[in-house]
Chain A
Amino acid sequence: MTTTLTLDSKYVTVLEALGNVEDALKDAVRGYAMTHISERIGQIQHEILQLQSQYGLSYEQFYVNITTNEEFVMQLRETHPSWERDLNNWEYYQEELATWLGHLESILKM
């Protein structure tokens, strides 16, 4: 899928002077997207690391335990009385991480 963008003629003049307008725009958009995706991934990874450190488990291990291990859940209630809130946050960040890594991969392949 492609989208047509409108560019101020001043920029077109400058970019023509620097070489190919289309290549320059592609580079600029790619650079912008990669910078912002990387920042987003960094923020998400920070949140995930905090949760992993708090529970001493990966998200996958935590999820398996809460759905299959009654003793683990009973113990969790004592140590982390609001663990369901953390589950919500953790799922959000895990799935967002997968989404943004997918975006990054698709840009890197272009």
Chain B
Amino acid sequence: MAWPPGEHLENVIAQVRLVLEDVNIVRHDISQVRAILDIEGRWRDYRIIVSEIHRTERDVRYAYYVLDRTNQLIHAFDNSPDNVAIKQRYGTQWKNHLHEEIPHQHHSDGTLTMTPEPITFTTFIAWLEMELQ
């Protein structure tokens, strides 16, 4: 991701405003070496959360959520260094990969599966429109 990420974040915000309703930009802050974006909105009956942290020395870490009206998880994509994801990918060797940020997704039944590549807000929206008709 190019640095500084100002243009990227403005593009995400513009897309959010096009696609989601009741948009609330909770955090949007850029410093010299890192930036944070944290947005909530509504897509149909679903609560949507968009979170991205940009850092000069590391890849973007993201979390995109679909929740229902009672705040139950419908689906989520993220690449946090989640112990369950690390163990699922590396098995008994997981301790050698402690801080890895692994792209994965959470399903409504509580299961977790890997995604072949990192997700962006654009691909998240495409997923919403494809899977939650």
Q: How far is the CB of A107 from chain B (nearest CB, A)?
A: 16
State whether the Cβ of A37 lies closer than 8 Å to any Cβ in chain B: no
- Is A95 engaged at the interface, CB distance under 8 Å to the other chain? yes
How far, in angstroms, from A88 to B61 measured CA to CA in the complex?
7
Within 8 A of B (CB), among A47-82: 66-70, 72-74, 77, 81-82
Looking at chain B's contact residues, the main secondary structure is strand
Q: Are A82 and B49 in contact (CB under 8 A)?
A: yes
Secondary structure type dominating chain A contacts:
helix
Chain A residue contacts of B36, Cβ below 8 A: 88-89, 92
Find out whether the CB atom of B84 lies under 8 angstroms from the CB atom of A84: no
B2-10, B11-19, B69-77, B115-123: which lies at the interface: B69-77
CB distance from A68 to the nearest CB of B (A): 6
In the complex with contacts A67-B83, A81-B65, A82-B76, A88-B31 CB distance below 8 A: no
Q: Which of B29, B33, B63, B84 contacts A85 (CB 8 A)?
A: B63
B38–A73 CB distance below 8 A: no
CA distance A77 to B108 in the complex (A): 11
> Quick check: is A21 within 8 A (CB to CB) of the other chain?
no
Q: How many residues of A contact B (CB 8 A)?
A: 21
B63 near A99 with CB under 8 A, answer no
In the bound assembly, the distance between CA atoms of A91 and B31 in angstroms comes to: 13
Please state if B53 and A81 are interface contacts (CB–CB under 8 Å). no
| Residue ID in chain B nearest A71 by CB atoms | B83
- In the complex, the answer to whether A95 meets B34 with C-beta atoms within 8 Å is yes
B106 in contact (CB, < 8 A): yes
Q: Can you sample 30 A-B contacts with CB below 8 Å?
A: A66-B80, A66-B83, A67-B81, A67-B82, A68-B83, A69-B83, A70-B83, A72-B83, A73-B84, A81-B72, A84-B63, A84-B76, A84-B80, A85-B49, A85-B51, A85-B63, A85-B65, A87-B61, A87-B63, A87-B80, A88-B38, A88-B51, A88-B52, A88-B61, A91-B61, A92-B34, A92-B36, A96-B31, A99-B31, A99-B33
Chain B residues with a Cβ under 8 A of chain A: 27, 29, 31-34, 36, 38, 49, 51-53, 61-63, 65, 67, 71-73, 76, 78, 80-84, 86-87, 98-99, 106, 110
